[in-house]
A and B are shown apart, each in its own frame.
Chain A
């Protein structure tokens, strides 16, 4: 029973993931991430205090 249920978990997760990507892209998250990506991350480099 548990094995049968687990067989259906990944399609549900995939649908949720695609929904999240689509909703996020419509909301403008793509542009936000794009802007972050093009900003030099001083935390990553270790600059500052």
Chain B
């Protein structure tokens, strides 16, 4: 019989998130600003190595109008490099970057341990697309200003706080927007203590881009109804507050694979090229020996 114990590497997510944060903010690698790191990591951070894809998209939008006025052809203003980078990662991994690599997701995961971990409303998850279309694409196009960056709490945390501390000459430029950003950061922190990853669920435009291809990405999560005992371990473990039994591979899933720790082997992830069926290692299996540590208690 196949081993149903969850793979050990699933328990290394915290370390991968820490390594990603260090990798994205290692000053000695600062020559990679031409690359977009596929997570929300502010490029105004003093130690940032890579570019922020959302910042790059906003700059593309804001410069597109001027370029079109200057008789540039329409295809010249489409940021194919940035979009290609995002599409590449989302086609292979869906939204797994949010669950495994994003420093702001990690920050919210840590804050979430302090509070009641409430779930965000399902309808609110669609607001991310409004933020993406409005604040990242349309408003920067018409105003030539990066409005999402102006309000971004990650920018406040990684750029807004350390930059004026390190460069006293910048302090004289602190105005109303800086204070607005700090208020947004505080609200986000409080919300992350109360709800499960509220920024990822409701606001993040980068997560919205990855969500578009998540369902069809190369990495899939399979749910085996026959092996499921409705013990709710996966539902309680999910940092996004979704029910993997009903919404596996949904657009709200961040691909963290916490649900794959199912002691009954009902949830397994696999790359698309791996065979699935009754004969495959991850195929339907009968429910048998229930592990002693399996709990039916919610959090």
Contact between B44 and A49 (Cβ–Cβ < 8 Å)?
Answer: no
Asked if A44 and B81 sit within 8 Å, CB to CB, the answer is no
Q: Which residues of B contact A27 (CB under 8 A)?
A: 76, 80-81
Q: Give the complex CA separation of A30 and B229 in angstroms.
A: 50
- The reply to whether the CB of B187 lies closer than 8 angstroms to some CB of chain A is no
Sorting the interface of chain B by its residue count into under 10, 10 to 19, 20 to 34 or 35 or more gives 35 or more
Are A24 and B51 in touch, CB under 8 angstroms? no
Q: With an 8 A cutoff between CB atoms, is B34 at the interface?
A: yes
B250 contacts the other chain (CB 8 A): no
Please give, as numbers and ranges, the residues of chain B lying within 8 Å of A22 by CB-CB distance: 84
Which of the four size classes fits the interface of chain A?
35 or more
Residue contact A36 to B59, C-beta cutoff 8 Å: yes
Q: How far is the CA of A44 from the CA of B43 in the complex (A)?
A: 8
Expressed in whole angstroms, the Cα–Cα distance for A38 and B180 within the complex equals 25
- Given A10-B92, A48-B175, CB of A41 within 8 Å of CB of B44: yes
Contact A45/B88 with A33-B81, A37-B50 known, Cβ cut-off 8 Å: no
Do A24 and B81 have beta carbons less than 8 Å apart? yes
Q: Within 8 Å CB of A47, what residues of B?
A: 170, 173-175, 177-178
How far, in whole Å, are A25 and B88 apart by their CA atoms in the complex?
A: 14
For B150, list chain A residues within 8 Å (CB). 43, 46
A14-B91 contact, Cβ under 8 Å, with A31-B34, A42-B173, A46-B180: yes
Whether A37 contacts B79 by the Cβ 8 Å rule is no
- Report if A29-B146 is in contact (Cβ < 8 Å); known contacts: A40-B44, A42-B173: no
Residues of A within 8 A of B160 (CB): 44-46
Q: Which of A6, A9, A44 contacts B44 (CB 8 A)?
A: A44
Task: Name A44's contact: one of B34, B55, B182 (CB within 8 Å).
Answer: B55
User: Would you call B84 and A19 a contact (CB within 8 A)?
Assistant: yes
Residues of B contacting A11 with CB < 8 Å? 218
Residue pairs across A and B with Cβ atoms less than 8 A apart, 9 shown, are A19-B84, A20-B84, A27-B81, A36-B59, A37-B51, A43-B146, A43-B147, A46-B178, A46-B179
